[in-house]
Amino acid sequence: MIVTCITIFVQPDRIEDFIQATLENHRASRSEAGNLRFDVLQCASDPSRFFLYEAYRSEADAAAHKQTPHYNKWKETVAGWMAKPREGVPHRPLAPEDPEQW
């Protein structure tokens, strides 16, 4: 299993656009066979800061996600709305050990 945590800072005037585009990507990503979780979070104290939590069964599934039309559409759509480059950090989950608990 692989989890990627992505921090994104969005230009204040594009927050609502970013939310809509990201929720569209979220819905399509959840239908991917290898996707276990795709959470979209907005910071309570800074509405321009977002955190995406993506869990996939394997590194191959995570890589396949980056080849999907919905991901590429999202990436191109939101690129100009970011206040600074997004930061994605892959993680190896330690617990829970059973992917079915995700």
What pLDDT score does 102 carry? 62
What pLDDT score does 77 carry? 98
Q: DSSP secondary-structure letter at 82? A: B
Contact 2, 38 (CB under 8 A): no
Contact 86, 7 (CB under 8 A): yes
Examine the pLDDT at 101 and tell me if it is beyond 70.
no
What pLDDT score does 70 carry? 97
